[in-house]
Amino acid sequence: MVKSGATIVLVHGAWADGSSWNKVIPLLLAKNMQVIAVQLPLTSVEDDLVATNRIIADTEKPIVLVGHSWGGMAVTQAGNDPKVMALVYVSAFAPDVGETGSSLIGAHPAPPALSTIVTDSAGFVYQTVDGMLKNIAPDLPVEEARALAVTQGRLAGKAFGQTARRHRCLEGEALLVHRNNRRSRGQRGASEGRSQSNGSQDHRDSIEPHVAALASGRSRRCYRGCCRHGRNLNGHP
């Protein structure tokens, strides 16, 4: 089967890995899309950027770069690559140059998931089982949520204080996808509002039509301008 359109590069958030896109990937593949998921080390902002850039370097243009939650820290910076035709933020961070995850989080009421984190002896932050069940994946079956607690990727605590060194204002499109399939323009400042739910999977599923349309060239209905999403609507990084 001949592939067509852009390659969709998916970048996961904290306390997860590339398999967190497992509900989205089959939907895109069914539409004959080219898809690859980045595996972030979560050891630092720079290391995450390097991992994302490595995939971009080995991927033919054009690329639609999709970041979920903490993955937006890498996506915003990696978007400087000329291969990237569009950025998609799924309840994701979009820092300006010099901003940190902590500064974006601190500008708004604390997400619920930050109340259920633990720091290990090496300084890496992870979610408790209760946090995974209630704040990260409350919309998933309990068995699946417990499995996520076991397999979660731990995020280096120091990463919250590390700054973004680059930021791209795409001349093309940048799409922000909030919960409940809402879309909005990239904003300078806080986001439009806080979701009533802290679930994680349903809004990732809902991005598939928008990403597929972008990658195939069928849609140009994304929003121009600088994206900065200082509020994490998903309730966690």
Q: What is the pLDDT of residue 37?
A: 97
Confidence of residue 134 (pLDDT cuts 50, 70, 90): very high
> pLDDT tens-digit profile of 138-157?
999 999 999 999 999 999 99
* pTM, entire model: 0.78
Enumerate domains of the chain plus CATH numbers: 7-109+163-216 (3.40.50.1820)
What average pLDDT is seen over the chain?
A: 79
Q: What is the pLDDT of residue 61?
A: 87
Tokens representing 174 are 């940048």
Which are the contacts of 4, defined by CB distance < 8 A and separation ≥ 6?
32, 216
Please determine, for residue 46, whether its predicted confidence score (pLDDT) is greater than 90: yes
Confidence of residue 178 (pLDDT cuts 50, 70, 90): low
Sign, CA torsion 105/106/107/111: positive
Contact call for residues 120 and 91 (beta carbons, < 8 A): no
Calpha distance 33→21 (Å, rounded) = 14
Please determine, for residue 209, whether its predicted confidence score (pLDDT) is greater than 70: no
- The pLDDT of 87-108, averaged and rounded, is 90
Closest CA to 175 of 211, 212, 216: 211
Calpha distance 148→53 (Å, rounded) = 26
Calpha distance 36→136 (Å, rounded) = 23
Calpha distance 87→222 (Å, rounded) = 10
Q: What is the pLDDT of residue 49?
A: 97
Tokens representing 71 are 């993955």
Please determine, for residue 19, whether its predicted confidence score (pLDDT) is greater than 50: yes
Side chain identity at residue 71, one-letter code: G
Q: What is the pLDDT of residue 94?
A: 86
Other beta carbons within 10 angstroms of residue 158's beta carbon come to 13
